[in-house]
């Protein structure tokens, strides 16, 4: 664990505006090159920039220093290890080229050579992009929708998704500057016009923000853990609550759960859930009223039945103590994925996986280093999601710029490295503390821009 100054974190981070107060801190991640690639440094290698579109990638190319070329040759693949030998060749393209007919959500990688009078130049760096398109989801047939039909704007909330009933469940967060414990259900979440309904239960958990939630879609049960009970971070909790009949507007029921020796009070942690093992994994966060950052790992066995906490000490690593990282879960490989986070005097831009044995009693940390493309800038307070093929990261804040990135980043994971492919822009505004669930590629809700909390819905297809 790491002790930090309360002045650096408690009020500002809970309000989603951490970065304003940290503008002068050392060690933060700076902005990255938006091009997604460039020359290799080899003589004559072309410079290449790339952007994603709907079913296409747009490449802009320029000949390398000291060379002249009016056309280029592309070699492309869905593998980040593409070369001029392994890639599919597209010869004699103009300096701006639209590669169409691509599948949204599948990253495509390229190397490029200039067509010189003496032959092909040296190849460029590998660049990648993930085709896709954003659209704003309206929850009434004639927008703008009545404010009374929508959840109030918020950040630091949780959201889970039931693919069987096609419903997203939103709980709590910071609303109008204070923690909340309201429950909202988005019905027909993947449909053309989904609808919001507020759900009411006779007994409610205390109001909170910065907590976590996981969902058992076979038992229709949501489990929440921890969080801050006030907007200043002076009251933290380590309580555990289960919500049965979680995705119905009426008939749901909250129960306080006892699970033995629990982790310490915390907020800003991450949690993922393995359905097959009925196990929740918790990593990191802040305890002791915002003074201590954590790097410990806890698992909650039998999450939806008779929960039992166990602290696990993984081999490898560990990552530096942190809070407010983007996290996702790859169930096929039993691995939690984390990116970035806040470390006191620094923001992180590192990527780690935490892989478990089948019993979730032992685990191994592995840091993955960037190999292809431009890795996302260091950040905290964004959102992550494993879509079955790659880890998607959206939003988050940087030092001096609390909501600075409005693109989704697709991180393709290898054994020890990862490759980056930017997705499309032109969608939701940059923000911190949103949530995302796997509808389409990603369904984004809420969060805070640099000036206000939000309650908009956006889907990435």
Domain ranges of the chain: 2-30+151-460, 47-129
> Quick one: tokens of 52?
């994603």
Q: Which residue has the higher pLDDT, 411 or 35?
A: 411
Between CA 435 and CA 451 the distance in angstroms is 18
pLDDT at 32 over 50: no
The answer to whether the pTM exceeds 0.85 is yes
- Span of 154-158, 290-294, 323-327, 368-372 with lowest mean pLDDT: 290-294
Judged on CB neighbours under 10 Å (0-12, 13-18, 19+), 75 is: buried
Beta carbons of 364 and 343 less than 8 angstroms apart: no
pLDDT at residue number 264: 95
**Is the confidence at residue 150, as pLDDT, over 50?**
yes
Identify the CATH number of the domain defined by range 47-129.
2.60.40.10
Q: What is the pLDDT confidence band of residue 38, given thresholds at 50, 70 and 90?
A: very low
Evaluate if residue 22 carries a pLDDT over 80: no
Q: Does the 2-30+151-460 domain belong in CATH 2.60.40.60?
A: no
21 pLDDT higher than 50: no
pLDDT above 60: residue 414: yes
User: Stretch 31-53: mean pLDDT, rounded?
Assistant: 66
Question: Could you read off the pLDDT of 85-138 as tens digits, one per residue?
Answer: 999 999 999 999 999 999 999 999 999 999 999 999 999 999 999 999 999 999
pLDDT of residue 233: 80
pLDDT at position 28: 33
Beta bridge partners of 73: 113
- Dump pLDDT digits (tens) for 422-439: 999 889 999 999 999 999
What's the mean pLDDT in 276-287?
97
- Work out the average pLDDT over 205-224: 96
Q: Provide the pLDDT for residue 3.
A: 53
Q: Among residues 54, 59, 97, 103, which one has the least CA distance to residue 78?
A: 103
Strands (E), 166-307: 167-175, 178-187, 195-199, 212-216, 221-228, 236-244, 253-257, 270-274, 279-287, 292-301
The two structure tokens encoding residue 320: 């530096």
Q: Find the mean pLDDT for residues 363-391.
A: 95
Q: What is the mean pLDDT of residues 416-421?
A: 96
Q: Are 279 and 301 in contact (CB under 8 A)?
A: yes
Is residue 303 predicted with pLDDT exceeding 70?
Answer: yes
Summary mean pLDDT of the chain: 89
Minimal CA–CA distance to 409: which of 427, 388, 428, 393? 393
Q: According to the model, what pLDDT value does residue 8 have?
A: 41
pLDDT of residue 44 exceeding 50, the answer is yes
Check whether 5 has a pLDDT greater than 50.
Answer: no
The SS3 call for residue 333 is: helix
DSSP-derived pairing of the beta strands 88-93 and 119-120: unpaired
Query: How far, in Å, CA of 123 to CA of 110, rounded?
Result: 10
Mean pLDDT to the nearest integer, 331-346: 95
Residue with tokens 């879609």, as numbered in its chain: 217
């Amino acid at each position: 664990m790491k002790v930090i100054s309360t002045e650096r974190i408690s009020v500002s981070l809970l309000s989603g505006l951490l970065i304003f107060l940290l503008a002068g801190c050392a060690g933060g991640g700076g902005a990255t090159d938006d091009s997604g690639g460039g020359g290799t440094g080899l003589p004559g290698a072309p410079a290449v920039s790339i952007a994603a579109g709907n079913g296409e990638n747009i490449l802009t190319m320029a000949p390398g220093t000291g060379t002249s070329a009016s056309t280029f040759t592309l070699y492309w693949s869905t593998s980040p290890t593409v070369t001029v030998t392994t890639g599919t060749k597209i010869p004699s393209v103009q300096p701006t080229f639209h590669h169409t007919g691509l599948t949204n959500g599948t990253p495509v990688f390229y190397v490029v050579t200039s067509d010189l009078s003496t032959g092909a130049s040296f190849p460029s760096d590998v660049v990648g992009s993930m085709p896709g398109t954003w659209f704003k989801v309206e929850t009434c047939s004639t927008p703008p929708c009545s404010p009374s039909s929508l959840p109030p704007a918020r950040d630091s909330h949780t959201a889970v998704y039931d693919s069987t009933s096609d419903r997203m469940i939103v709980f709590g967060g910071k609303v109008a500057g204070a923690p909340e414990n309201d429950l909202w259900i988005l019905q027909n979440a993947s449909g053309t016009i989904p609808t919001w309904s507020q759900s009411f239960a006779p007994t409610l958990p205390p109001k909170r923000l910065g907590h976590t939630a996981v969902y058992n879609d076979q038992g229709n049960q949501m489990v929440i853990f921890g969080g801050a009970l006030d907007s200043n971070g002076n009251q933290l909790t380590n309580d555990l609550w289960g919500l049965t009949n979680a995705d119905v507007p009426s008939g749901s029921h909250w129960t306080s759960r006892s699970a033995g020796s629990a982790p310490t009070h915390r907020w800003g942690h991450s949690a993922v859930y393995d359905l097959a093992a009925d196990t929740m994994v918790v990593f990191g966060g802040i305890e002791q009223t915002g003074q201590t950052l954590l790097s410990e790992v806890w698992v909650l066995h039998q999450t939806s039945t008779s929960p039992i906490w166990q602290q696990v000490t993984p081999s490898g690593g560990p990552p530096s103590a942190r809070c407010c990282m983007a996290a996702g879960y790859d169930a096929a490989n039993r691995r939690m994925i984390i990116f970035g986070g806040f470390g006191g005097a620094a923001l992180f831009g590192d990527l780690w996986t935490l892989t478990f044995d089948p019993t979730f009693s032992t685990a191994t940390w592995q840091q993955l280093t960037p190999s292809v493309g431009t890795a996302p800038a260091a950040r905290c307070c964004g959102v992550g999601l494993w879509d079955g093929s790659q880890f998607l990261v959206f939003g988050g804040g940087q030092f001096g710029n609390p909501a600075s990135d409005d693109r989704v980043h697709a991180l393709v994971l290898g054994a020890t490295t990862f490759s980056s492919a930017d997705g499309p822009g032109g969608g939701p505004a940059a923000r911190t503390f949103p949530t995302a669930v796997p509808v389409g590629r990603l369904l984004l809700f809420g969060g805070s821009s640099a000036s206000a909390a939000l309650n908009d819905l956006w889907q990435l297809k």
